[in-house]
Structure 1
């Protein structure tokens, strides 16, 4: 790809192709053809290859752009993965949401980067909430943050597989999931699930190298 464009008009064409590719990949998945991307951008397939070299290189440019856009969106800070995507919709547009969903479904380096960002963000949020007395301490704060993200992302991806997004796109599916799981999630997070400690005590007694005790809140 030509990363430095001396001609502003050429730079504008490169940006238009990349933005069209983000839309097509988000709507059709990463199997979207160069021809369909070229049509969406209003250019020839040959011009797409001329500027980006290959479809894989175009995908890499889209990954970089979307990841940077997500990281530059302050509205997502401290939210669950479902709200992460919902907040992204409110802050930017559904095109980025669709691309993120496709990346999570496909796996790979971008999905790993998104998950790492989510886990780090949730950890910061929980640490802050604990300091404010809103969240209980954990024996392993990092593991707790990771569990919450993986549970939420897993639920999101299963929901999207069982309920493929319609014409409104994945943003509407994310909102629908959030409405469905908010009450049971808040019940579990607020009141707990188990009525006694037997399973936890057994785990701590027999597990190799058990975690330290929960620190004082």
Structure 2
């Protein structure tokens, strides 16, 4: 019985992620229950409320993102990265969920983003330890910046090129076809030809006593 309850709970959660990813967070518990083939009462039984369901969806979305990023940055190889890009459809519900969450704004969106940044710090540290990533003078700020850049770029793209007939998979394929190369170039080779600007900034921010650079 416990196994049945657990599998039903997971199925409802996964359906909810897809529904929220397609329709946003106005999707009703009744609609989610219908899509999952269960009663609204069973949804309430498992999650208590719509807020409880969304909290569990957040946890699962973060788990999927963390696992995918960790695999790519610490244990992946070029073949696995290209395979992941080719099978982007698998991540459509998760991307749709994150996009709708951030567009909705508010405290829930802020908490989701903050948790994504915390996870990013962890897998970036692992990447540094594995020798796949360079160290940063400010690991926390780097993780936050990468979150802003990565998610922000995707949101702008989807605003400028909305999915046609709800085809988020096609929109994501177009995004990665356009930007995967310049992103990989920047992250692999960098942009500036020398360290003049970085050196000047570090000198400007370095205290006279040689301690830790101040943060403004």
Structures share fold, TM-score greater than 0.5: yes
Displacement of 1:123 in angstroms is 4.0
Which structure 2 residues correspond to residues 184-203 of structure 1 after superposition, within 5 A?
184-189=182-187, 192-194=190-192, 198-203=196-201
Residues 93-118 of structure 1 deviation map (CA, whole Å, 9 limit, x = unaligned)? 53333324334444232332223223
> Whole-Å Cα distance in 1 between the matches of residues 39 and 193 of structure 2?
64
User: Which residue in 2 is equivalent to 1:101?
Assistant: 99
> Whole-Å Cα distance in 2 between the matches of residues 100 and 25 of structure 1?
9
User: Which residue in 2 is equivalent to 1:120?
Assistant: 122
> Whole-Å Cα distance in 2 between the matches of residues 105 and 180 of structure 1?
23
User: Which residue in 1 is equivalent to 2:177?
Assistant: 179
Structure 1 vs Structure 2 CA RMSD: 3.8
Structure 1 gap segments, 5+ residues each: 1-5
Displacement of 1:74 in angstroms is 7.5
Displacement of 1:204 in angstroms is 3.0
TM normalised by structure 2 equals 0.67
Give the ranges of 4+ consecutive aligned residues of structure 1 lying more than 6 Å apart after TM superposition: 210-213
Structure 2 gap segments, 5+ residues each: 75-80
Q: Select the residue among 52, 56, 59 that pairs with 1:61.
A: 56
Residues 18-41 of structure 1 deviation map (CA, whole Å, 9 limit, x = unaligned)? 232121111111221112112212
Relative to structure 1, is the Cα distance of residues 78 and 102 closer, same or farther in structure 2, using a 3 angstrom cutoff?
A: farther
User: Which residue in 2 is equivalent to 1:148?
Assistant: 146
Structure with the larger helix share: 2
Structure 1 contact 20–37 (Cα < 8 Å) conserved: yes
> Whole-Å Cα distance in 1 between the matches of residues 16 and 103 of structure 2?
17
Relative to structure 1, is the Cα distance of residues 23 and 211 closer, same or farther in structure 2, using a 3 angstrom cutoff?
A: farther
Relative to structure 1, is the Cα distance of residues 111 and 147 closer, same or farther in structure 2, using a 3 angstrom cutoff?
A: closer
Displacement of 1:137 in angstroms is 5.9
> Whole-Å Cα distance in 2 between the matches of residues 95 and 186 of structure 1?
24
TM normalised by structure 1 equals 0.67
